[in-house]
Structure 1
């Protein structure tokens, strides 16, 4: 395996390990075994776990932003966009995977500051995108930014509840309810 392929394989396996176990619950030995290289070779590509974490979060955020751009292009309206957005969070649940940044956020006090900053950026990007989708019409006590943060938190929480119950349908029901409530509040659906 050449350097680029090895680096990509390490990032892919580290992503899966974080999404299933958590940032603190995997080691370079786990990565070396998964990729079939020596532990020292992992250090050759990522001198520290912090460096690996920063790159994992940046790559995840970049890929997520590309998916948001796809939604902008493909969605037939706000409800369809919200459904497509929720589907991004659902991905991986059948394999026991959760949102990488959500998993890291759950253990934020134990991760390096640079990794935590990347996670905060992921959530900032998502809140901005959702607020733009939700629109500027304000309702008393509810700004688009507040509604965006609430919807995002609901989806992240739905992931953990579904994982705890080993039932993806739990996520589906929570997401559908959140979309309906938000869509009705914003006038995307006729009551």
Structure 2
């Protein structure tokens, strides 16, 4: 999940994986180990002054954050869930800490192999409720999405009737069909 910065259905409530990564230990291409966590200016300066691969990584990331910030801000769209891949827009956090983890999360192993992680763990909600809303058409469901998001649900899943029909025809459907018998009746 860290390598892809997976966010899943609760991302609008809980954020992306990178939002919960406190520290990473990453094996770089040359075999060096990079220990990364959000850094204040003093600690960042120590990293950039190193004469090894770690220092090179820090200097490169600082250069991108300092010299490409306007371009990154202009090109990267403002999205609720953000993008996957190299999250250059969050190298420098709102509190001015520098966070290499924003780039390592989502790099899919192209920058190094994550071998250890310290994570923020959230409590499991005591209660959960499922609400199933059926619309006459797919576009009707999409039109309501903004209003539904204002209610701050954990997730919203919009599934086209064609996808449901394919699911009903799948070999495993019989194992879950009794959980929602009306779905099959309404689609057939």
Q: Work out whether the TM-score is over 0.5.
A: no
What range describes the TM-score normalised by the shorter chain of this pair? under 0.3
Higher relative contact order (CA 8 A, sep 6+): 2
Bigger proportion of residues as strand: 2
Instruction: Give the alignment's TM-score, normalised by structure 1.
Output: 0.22
Bigger proportion of residues as helix: 1
